Amino acid sequence: MIAATIDRLAAVETPAAGDGYVVVDRVAKVFNPGTGQQVEAVAPTSFAVQSGEFVSLLGPSGCGKSTLMMMVAGLDKPTAGGIAVAGKLTTAPRAETGIMFQDPTLLPWKSALENVLFPFRAMNRPVEPFIDKAKALLDEVGLAGFHHHKPRQLSGGMRQRVAICRTLVYEPDLLLMDEPFSALDALTRDDMNLVLMKMWQEHHRTAIFVTHSIREAVYLSDRVLVMSQRPGKVIADVRIPFARPRDLEIGETAEFNEICGYLRGKIQHRPT
Amino acid sequence: MSDRLRAAILPTAFALGVLALWQALVMAFHYPKVVLPAPTDIVAALIDNAGALVHQAVPTMRDTLAGFLLATVLGVGLASLLSFSRLVRDAVYPMIVLLQLVPKIAWTPLFIVWAGIGWPSRLTIATFIAFFPIFISMMAGLEATDRSLVRLSASLTATGWRTFRLVRFPASMTYLFSGLKIGATLAVIGVIVAEFISSSEGLGFLILKSAALLQTDLILAAIAVLCLLGVGFYGLVHAGEAAVRRWQGE
């Protein structure tokens, strides 16, 4: 049975670009080119994410996965290759992409509610029509009664929930999440994964999730793209077969652990 | 005893103790009043010359306040402007930092040559001296803004101006107010020095005139008024900071 699963996983692991909602085509990134500090962060790599898919970029620390994400977000430019989102070449941030960073990046002087509404202020759109929606989102992630609390009055997990609401409130069609829960303790992290899963199912969007946690990647994703050590590139593309909605208990199943083991082997694999 | 009460009583008691010791020493050793008047002499001078002191405090206060406000507008304005252009910032900032290393007081006679002996020169000096800490702290605040907040704003397609208004400017307030507090104190110094050099009004003028007449008690009375003025001024900036904090919801 185990052998059969491995075969099935291996069958789909060949990285392929092709069509998709997000297409990363032979993208490479070199920092400080031509200087003594030249660093090749991302080796030419290609992959595609289909509309509505939840894909994780999994790799060791410093493998360039965050850099790759920033380029998809339009916040950084590739040294070579191109990225297309919704059929358009990415050259600058697009208003329909929502990003979650490693830290919640809340305005410390604004309330939770005001922080959720921040995207509209940043985009110079009227805020009033979205106040009820922002409140509903905060209630949905369990922050009823905390609408007017300042970030410093909230716990780390609560702040990241505010950040989730802020990312969803303007209904982006693409969610980019850069290790959003890596600063949280293990229990809070499980909790946040559940919240994220629930929100993702209710507000179905295409999502790319950067993480170095194998279990998190397997639990959340439809597909996991494994990245090599720096200079990072996608070395495996693994489909996660679990049906949704998923609960945390799937983490106890043999198949789950088998997939985790397989991915761990891929990450530790060092190409010569 | 509550901490607040302790924080109020302890320094007050110490200050009163120093005054009492001063009074006792003057009385015990019979210092001539012209060298060291007792605190009671200073209080008497304050009462006797209340009219003159208030009269002279008005122009000093006016020039200080005006210079401080002008310095705030210029300092915050220039720092904000420079924060929009890396090129201009890199060209201009080092020169301002270099300029601020020169003792600002040294420029005073030059400003009097340029702006005359009336209030315009005093205003110029107060503005000039208060400008640097305000400008530099605002600059530091703008540059210290959490980069991830700026990146978030950029990812939401905010323009440079909106990012400034929504993120970088409000994030600079703590820095700005520490500069404003220094600027407020320096503005008073600037005005007094200018009044020393050439003026026919103001507390600085009164101090210089009293010195010529050996009215030591009046000098100290004027300094006491200046002290009150400084405290009031500092309190004003502090109140401003509290108001901004409340507005920012802290």
Q: Are residues B17 and B64 in the same domain?
A: no
- My answer on whether B8 and B125 are in the same domain is no
User: B155, A73: Cβ pair inside 8 Å?
Assistant: yes
- CB of B154 less than 8 A from some CB of A: yes
Q: For residues A272 and A98, which has the higher predicted lDDT (pLDDT)?
A: A98
Q: Do B162 and A99 touch (CB under 8 A)?
A: no
Determine which of A55-59, A198-202, B73-77, B212-216 has the lowest per-residue pLDDT on average.
Answer: A198-202
Interface of A with B in 90-149 (CB under 8 A): 92-95, 97, 99, 101, 103, 105, 107, 109-111, 118-119, 121-124
- Kindly report the CATH number assigned to the domain that includes residue B103: 1.10.3720.10
User: For B249, which of A75, A93, A110 is closest by C-beta distance?
Assistant: A110
The pLDDT, as a whole number, for residue A14 is 40
CA distance B126 to B65: 9
Rounded Cα–Cα distance for residues A33 and A42 (Å): 13
Please check whether residues B179 and B198 belong to one and the same domain: yes
> Are B10 and B106 found together in one domain?
no
A244 pLDDT more than 70: yes
Partnered with residue A209 across adjacent β-strands are A56, A177
Does residue B2 sit at the A interface (CB-CB below 8 Å)?
A: no
Pick the CATH number of A1-31+39-92+174-180+203-238+266-270 from 3.40.50.2300, 3.40.50.300, 2.60.40.10, 3.50.50.60: 3.40.50.300
Residues of B in contact with A123 (CB under 8 A): 156-158
CB–CB contacts below 8 A, A to B: 56
The conformation of residue A232, written as its DSSP 8-state character, comes to B
Interval B13-27 mean pLDDT: 93
User: How many whole angstroms separate alpha carbon B67 and alpha carbon B61?
Assistant: 10
Q: B54 pLDDT band (50/70/90 cuts)?
A: very high
Q: Does B150 touch chain A (CB under 8 A)?
A: no
CA distance A81 to A85: 14
**Across the interface, which of B148, B151, B157 has its CB nearest the CB of A95?**
B157
Q: Is A76 on the interface with B (CB under 8 A)?
A: no
B187-211 pLDDT, tens per residue? 999 999 989 887 788 999 999 999 9
Indicate if B111 and B188 belong to the same structural domain.
yes
Structure tokens at A234: 């996608």
Alpha-carbon distance A93 to nearest alpha carbon in chain B (angstroms): 5
Locate tokens 């009227």: which residue? A126
User: Using an 8 Å Cβ cutoff, are B53 and B207 in contact?
Assistant: no
Please report, for residues A38, A114, B159, B168, B183, the alpha-carbon distance to residue B150 in angstroms, rounded to integers and kept in the order given: 26, 17, 11, 8, 28
Q: Are B116 and B152 part of one and the same domain?
A: yes
Q: At what angle do helices B50-82 and B86-99 cross, to 10 degrees?
A: 150
Tell me: the pLDDT tens digits for B154-167? 999 988 899 999 99
Describe the strand order of the beta sheet including A88-89 as a list of residue ranges: A39-49, A22-31, A80-85, A88-89
- The average pLDDT across A200-213 equals 85
Q: Which residue has the tokens 């891929």?
A: A266
Among B145, B153, B157, B174, the strongest candidate for a mutation testing the A interface, having the largest count of A CBs within 10 A, is B157
Give the neighbor-by-neighbor strand order of the sheet with A206-211. Answer: A97-100, A174-178, A206-211, A54-58, A223-227, A234-239
A103 neighbourhood in chain B, CB within 8 Å: 148
Model pLDDT for residues B77-111, shown as the tens digit of each residue? 999 999 888 899 999 999 998 888 888 888 888 88
Regarding whether B208 and B98 lie in a shared domain, the answer is yes
Question: What is the reported pTM?
Answer: 0.81
Among B137, B117, B119, residue whose Cα is nearest residue B127: B119
Average pLDDT over residues A184-198: 80
**What is the amino acid identity at position B42?**
I
Please check whether residue B163 touches A, CB under 8 A.
Answer: yes
What pLDDT shows up at residue B184? 93
Number of domains present in the structure of chain B: 2
Domain that holds residue B176: 37-247
Q: What is the mean pLDDT of residues B141-160?
A: 90
Q: Rounded distance, CA B140 to CA B134, Å?
A: 10
In this structure, what DSSP letter does residue A40 have?
E
Q: Is residue A3 predicted with pLDDT exceeding 80?
A: no
- Which of B146, B148, B151, B155 best probes binding to A when mutated, by most A CB atoms within 10 angstroms? B155
Predicted pLDDT of residue A188: 78
Distances from the Cα of A264 to the Cα of A41, A65, A259, A260, angstroms: 21, 16, 9, 6
Please tell me which residue of chain A has the smallest CA distance to B153: A122
B161 vs A: CB within 8 A? no
| Predicted local confidence at residue A186, as pLDDT | 79
Residue % of chain A over a pLDDT of 70 = 92
Cα A241 to chain centroid, rounded: 19
Mean pLDDT of B26-31: 89
Which tokens in the block code for residue A262? 């397989």
Distance from CA of B169 to the nearest CA of A (A): 12
CB within 8 Å: B152 and A101 = yes
What's B33's DSSP letter?
A: T
Please give the residue of chain A at the shortest CA–CA distance from B247: A109
Q: Is beta strand A54-58 parallel, antiparallel or unpaired with respect to A206-211?
A: parallel
CB contact under 8 Å between A105 and B163, yes or no, is: no
Largest CA distance in chain B: 76
CB burial of B85-115 (b: ≥16 within 10 Å; e: otherwise) equals eeeebeeebeebeeeeeeebbebbeebbeeb
How is residue B240 written in tokens? 């401003």
- pLDDT band at residue B249 using 50, 70 and 90 as cut-offs: low
Q: Out of B152, B154, B248, whose CB is closest to A109?
A: B248
| Highest mean pLDDT: which range of A244-258, B168-182, B234-248 | B168-182
Compute the distance between CA of residue A195 and CA of residue A159 in angstroms, rounded to an integer: 13
Among residues of chain B, what percentage have pLDDT more than 70? 99
Averaged pLDDT, A196-224: 86
Residue extents of the structural domains in chain A: 1-31+39-92+174-180+203-238+266-270
Asked if the Cβ–Cβ distance from A123 to B155 is below 8 Å, we say no
Question: What confidence score (pLDDT) does residue A225 get?
Answer: 92
- Element (H or E) spanning B46, and its range? helix B39-48
Mean of per-residue pLDDT scores for chain A: 84
Secondary structure letter of residue B167 according to DSSP: I
Rounded to whole angstroms, how far apart are CA atoms B112 and B118? 8
**Nearest CA of chain B to the CA of A189: how many Å?**
21
Shared-domain flag, residues B130 and B19: no
Q: Of B156, B169, B247, B248, which to mutate for an interface test with A (greatest number of A Cβ within 10 Å)?
A: B156
